[in-house]
Amino acid sequence: MEAYVTEPVGVSRMSEEDSHTWLHHVILLLDAAVRQIDNREESAKCALIRAKSLLRKQVDLDFPEVAPDQRGRFLAWQARKVHQYIDEHISDTLSVSDVAALLGLSEAHFSRSFKRTFGEPPYAFVIRRRLERAIQYMLETDLSLSDIALRCGFVDQPHLCKNFRRSMGHTPAAWRRACLTQAPMSSGVNTQGTLA
């Protein structure tokens, strides 16, 4: 019998030295957020998002815990396959019918199972993943917002801005400027323009 999603998948391994360095960077970001939370709420939010980004690189937390006896959810292999496909094709146009075809399901059945497994509809999940990727690019590269929008699968910069403002409460340019000018230099975030 197939196993349902019961624990986060996609845990990556790192050496003990890398793990220590990585944990040190996360602790520095969290300390900075705690210090800044009273004075500058936006700066604290930036530090917390950077810490979240580092944690997400180490452990994939997108799979909610699901009890094995609950029906109507994807099996673990189906959830991994869908999640991997979406992440690999995040910059492409993604349709429910294409992703449902991966599992041989109808669009309606796929959409119901997707929402029960991931806790949100497919479109909301894709937009959230695109915004997370855009945040990574904004923090770790000096690419223009229009380039970031296209790399993350948004139609254009205004599409990114509309979704970013809806989610974060600020425009991407204002948010990026606030994060980059108020972030501590020892945050450990890669600023050479590469994504890990």
Of all residues in the chain, what percent carry a pLDDT higher than 90?
Answer: 50
CA atoms within 13 A on the CB side of 60: 17
Segment 36-48 mean pLDDT = 65
- In the predicted structure, residue 36 carries a pLDDT above the cut 80: no
33/85 Cα distance (integer angstroms): 34
Looking at per-residue confidence, does 147 or 186 come out higher?
Answer: 147
pLDDT at 107: 95
Burial class of residue 115 in the structure, from the number of CB atoms within 10 Å of its CB (0-12 exposed, 13-18 middle, 19+ buried): middle
Nearest alpha carbon to residue 33 among 47, 23, 21, 20: 47
pLDDT in tens, 93-117: 999 999 999 999 999 999 999 999 9
Mean pLDDT along residues 53-80: 66
